[in-house]
Amino acid sequence: MRIVLPGIWSRGRWIAEMCCVACCLLFVASARQTVGQPAAEWSVAAAEEQAFRTAVDRVAAAVVRIEAAGVSEASIGGPAEAAPAAGPSSGLIVDPAGWVVTTSFAVPKDAKQAIVVLPGTPGGTRVVARAVGRDLARGLVLLQIEVPAAAAPLPSLAVAPRESWGVGQWTIALGRAWNSSAPSVAVGILSAMNRAWGKAVQTDASVSPANYGGPLIDIQGRVIGILAPVPADTAGMTMGTELYDSGIGFAVPLVDLLRVLPRLQQGETLSPGILGIGYSARDPFTSKATVATCRAGSPAARAGLRAGDTIVEAGGRSIARVAELRHVLAPLYAGDSVELVVERGSADGGKVRVPLRVELVAALAPWRRSVLGIVPTRTANKKGENAGETPGVPVAWVWPAGPAAQAGLVAGDSVEAVATVAAAGEAGSSGGGERLEVSNAGALAGFVGGLAAGTVVQVTVRRDGLPLELEMATVVAPATVPELVPVSEADPAQAVVEKLPAPEIAHPPLAVLPAAAPESPLGTPLGVLVYFGSPQGAATGAARAAAETEAVRAASAQWAAAASRYGVAVILPEPSDPQRWGREDIAGVARALDSLRQRRPIDLSRVAFAGSGAGAAMAWLAAEALGPGVRGVALFNAGLPRQATVEAAEPGRSRVVLFGTSGGQPVPRLELDSRRLEEAGYPVGMLPPAALEQVPAETLCSWVESLGVL
């Protein structure tokens, strides 16, 4: 029987739920006495129960209670690795000299001390513990206590060796949050190994914040691992606490902890190791580990990796997919080294294998995307490949006064190869001085994006059938809207306004679509702008029908000309609640985008969200939820929503952010938000003032086109 441990949250609730559990156990015991059960079944059940009791007894003395000491920043709304528990949690004595392991859930990063309650006496023995070392990759904290002279010697542990683990074996999860006299016990099986990219094992024994820090043991009483809220990031769970009471729990192997225990005892903070590359594909489970971007100054760049390389071996293991590489890299710490073998193109058109040794680091300088000012022709391919088979990247236009324009690059040229000539203050830029053939826009974007601003690049272009060598230096990606963005000659009168229906969406959003080119039934790939307006209030029946008719007319009047001029599909969602936007509306936006893809090809390098007031907050939250595919966000008369998260920019995870105000209207926190974004590496700019009554359709659609700059 699996006993679900009570939830986090108030001590009163804990007591109430424990009373319920106790009543259930009494009922079961009574039922067994009154319902005749064969003696053989009773003997098996008794033997099983005795085995569990014996296993628990072997480790129970090492399971301790952890209580907060003082007030943590996290407990009053400040930052922390995870939200702290409102009550006590658990820990495990891993060394009789006074070393105790718990999790950052119990001891947040700003907490220097905790209270450890040792078992063995009525009410337990309370001692002050000092936080000595932390494993940030696994969320573990090492505490040191002074053992009272009158206390019994601390116990030693039996460790379950890795080779003894097997999926389906019994596991027992222990904790001591409820009281100091007896540990809580939950029984299950070992349901999977090498979870969380190789950092944890999985059990279906009930795991909750109450037994985080406690041990997961086998039927012999040997410790398999430390129960911890390990994030399930592939499912979008970044805290690790989201799986509470789900039948899925994780434990960090004790053998892995013991390997780094001396470092933690020396006071080290062990950080996840960073390589410094971005991949050319987004799906880690089906795609090769091909490098799209290699950040300047990163361990990868210093070791000699560069854009276009495919990693085929890591740590002595063959690598066929990104996921396999992550399983090798994720368990490593900053300072660890890993042997890689990469496959890259050779001068004769073949492939060569190059061995490299990379030393991982804890952090990289903030990344800011570099560009040359080249805007390629549009492509609908997810990998940024050109629709045709002609090698090279055709140039649609060049950024006015940008490096490419100053070097003499013009629309109609085709970029065929690039090579670094001189790095900007750092050796080991991603080009390595060697020529890189570029057959698609994605390869060019990855190469340029990995360079530091100021790196001199030699660009080989083909013009009128002849090769031409040009030199230009990279600059930080602009956050402005150029005045001379080329426009199409499409007839605005041919633009259509239609709904984008999707399953389970009661009120599909409107979309303004430019006319398709005559030579193609689908037309040139479209940029996409999703604009969140202000909620219009409730309307039903004839009033709603009239409002929808008016919305079609207004959308056509406001957006048709700009959408046609710049080849942008404009999506105008409406909230499910007419009074407000909510997170539940994000799913509708995602489905509208999918519906649009069924109608027309989309250029994924030119997708942006925008809005005004409450719609601006929704634009940011929707972009945040839908991920790096949204390349820009424009916010009018609003700053970032208070619940916004701003992660550090990385190759493949960055976007341009524009703010705009109407008639000098002040926007609270605008300066603070701008600084916050810039420090994280995002290009941040201001749009020209716009009248409050008008939607700046022309500016926004030209901005979407300009997002394709490389």
pLDDT in tens, 410-427: 999 999 999 888 665 544
277-359 is a CATH 3.40.50.1450 domain: no
Question: Topology of domain 11-265, per CATH?
Answer: Thrombin, subunit H (2.40.10)
pTM of the model: 0.74
Q: How confident is the model at residue 524 (pLDDT cuts 50, 70, 90)?
A: confident
pLDDT at residue 428, as a whole number: 41
pLDDT at residue 42, as a whole number: 57
pLDDT at residue 39, as a whole number: 57
Q: How far apart are CA 585 and CA 581, in angstroms?
A: 7
C-alpha distances in angstroms, 347 versus 177, 390, 430, 437?
A: 64, 20, 18, 10
Half-sphere exposure of 120 (CA within 13 A, CB side): 17
Could you check whether 277-359 and 370-476 share the same CATH topology?
yes
> Would you kindly state where each structural domain of the chain is located, as residue ranges?
11-265, 277-359, 370-476, 492-706
Q: How far apart are CA 447 and CA 449, in angstroms?
A: 6
Q: How confident is the model at residue 315 (pLDDT cuts 50, 70, 90)?
A: very high
Q: How confident is the model at residue 110 (pLDDT cuts 50, 70, 90)?
A: confident
- Which structure tokens are listed for 220? 């012999």
The CATH number of the domain covering residues in 370-476:
2.30.42.10
CA nearest neighbour of 188 among 161, 209, 207, 160: 207
pLDDT of residue 16 exceeding 80, the answer is: no
pLDDT of residue 15 exceeding 90, the answer is: no
* Cβ-contact 2, 187 below 8 angstroms: yes
Geometric angle at alpha carbon 244, from 232 and 582, rounded to 5°: 75
Q: Which position has the higher pLDDT, 79 or 639?
A: 639
> pLDDT tens digits, residue range 238-276?
555 556 556 789 999 999 999 999 999 999 999 999 998
Q: Which position has the higher pLDDT, 15 or 186?
A: 186
The residue assigned the tokens 């023995």 is 125
Q: How far apart are CA 345 and CA 298, in angstroms?
A: 22
Question: Topology of domain 492-706, per CATH?
Answer: Rossmann fold (3.40.50)
pLDDT at residue 37, as a whole number: 53
Q: How far apart are CA 330 and CA 341, in angstroms?
A: 18
pLDDT at residue 347, as a whole number: 67
pLDDT at residue 517, as a whole number: 64
C-alpha distances in angstroms, 149 versus 98, 117, 203?
A: 12, 15, 38
